[in-house]
């Protein structure tokens, strides 16, 4: 009877130790897996900040930056009486001369920080028109007994290229500190920026194209404006890959610790 009781006590004690070992193993595994998840989250946050710092370096303390790329503009002049009906100035008045661009001009990129992302505006020069003729007839002065002869007076409206340059400068140089000379290539590739776990993606707001113009007293230049909204998003594939790596390490550590623990409890006999 005493042997049966001793055997039962030994069995119960063994079961208790087994349950304890299982609980300790479970807690250890849970801690290691939690560490893997926390490690992944910390890596994700650091990765986000690294991309954010690169973007901040591009903005250089500004909320808006811009730059341009240009080449000499080419096209054909359109006489006043051949100008299409849609060639009008900002007030709807007919122009003195039109210019149909065939190549060249400029591309201006304006990048703006928003509360929840970025606005990317790409402006491309199109046609232009002059509001004033190259020369105007000026009547002579009537002195009563004598009238001086009239003459053609230069209006100094400037060349076609000067008009395009003026419009381009208005969108860039005219914005003061927002203009970052030499940053066009970086701005152009902004949508391709990425880090190990994050990337710049178009937001749910659609890209749209609009027509606009810039003018002064002498000319008007039309341009197309394509606006795209971007935001920083998590690359889920890269995130889960990092999580899988950390989880695998956690399981390897668990197996190693468990093996050493068992080896300590039940040393090999030689």
Predicted local distance difference test score (pLDDT) of residue 258: 77
Predicted local distance difference test score (pLDDT) of residue 267: 52
Phi, psi of 212 (to 5 degrees): -140, 180
| Regions in the chain scoring below 70 on pLDDT | 1-19, 21, 140, 144-146, 148, 150, 205-207, 261-270
Predicted local distance difference test score (pLDDT) of residue 182: 92
Predicted local distance difference test score (pLDDT) of residue 17: 55
Predicted local distance difference test score (pLDDT) of residue 270: 44
Rg (CA), the chain: 37
Predicted local distance difference test score (pLDDT) of residue 244: 94
Question: Mapped to the 3 state alphabet, what secondary structure does the chain carry?
Answer: CHHHHHHHHHHHHHHHHHHHHHHHHHHHHHHHHHHHHHHHHHHHHHHHHHHHHHHHHHHCCCCEEEEEEEEEEEEEEECHHHCCCCCECCCCCECCEEEEEEEEEEEEEEEEEECCEEEEEEEEEEEEEECCCCEEEECCCECCCCECCCEEEECCCCCHHHHHHHHHHHHCHHHHHHECCCCHHHHHCHHHCECCCEEEEECCCCCEEEEEEEECCCEEEEEEEEEEEEEEEECHHHHHHHHHHHHHHHHHHHHHHHHHHHHHHCCCCC
Contact, 147 vs 134, CB < 8 A?
no
Predicted local distance difference test score (pLDDT) of residue 109: 97
* Helix pair angle (236-265, 2-59), 10° resolution: 150
Backbone CA torsion sign across 77, 83, 85, 87? positive
């Amino acid at each position: 009877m005493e042997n049966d009781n001793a055997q039962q006590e030994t069995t119960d004690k063994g079961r208790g130790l087994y349950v304890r070992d299982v609980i300790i193993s479970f807690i250890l595994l849970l801690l290691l897996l939690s560490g893997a998840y926390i490690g992944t989250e910390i890596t994700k946050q650091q990765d986000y900040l690294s991309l954010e710092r690169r973007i901040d370096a591009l903005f250089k303390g500004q909320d808006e930056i811009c730059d341009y790329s240009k080449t000499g503009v080419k096209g054909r002049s359109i006489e006043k009486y051949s100008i299409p009906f849609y060639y009008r100035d900002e007030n709807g008045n007919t122009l003195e001369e039109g210019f149909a661009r065939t190549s060249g001009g400029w591309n201006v990129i304006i990048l703006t920080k928003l509360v929840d992302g970025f606005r990317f505006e790409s402006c491309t020069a199109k046609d232009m028109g002059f509001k004033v003729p190259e020369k105007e007839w000026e009547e002579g002065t009537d002195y009563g007994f004598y009238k001086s002869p009239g003459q053609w007076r230069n209006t100094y409206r400037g060349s076609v290229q000067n008009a395009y340059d003026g419009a381009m400068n208005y969108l860039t140089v005219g914005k003061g500190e927002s203009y970052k000379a030499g940053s066009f290539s970086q701005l152009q590739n902004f949508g391709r920026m990425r880090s190990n776990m994050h990337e710049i993606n178009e937001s749910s707001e659609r890209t749209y194209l609009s027509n606009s113009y810039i003018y002064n007293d002498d000319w008007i230049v039309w341009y197309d404006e394509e606006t795209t909204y971007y935001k920083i998003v998590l690359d889920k594939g890269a995130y889960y890959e990092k999580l899988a790596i950390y989880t695998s390490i956690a399981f390897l550590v668990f197996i190693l610790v468990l093996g050493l623990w068992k080896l300590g409890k039940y040393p090999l006999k030689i």
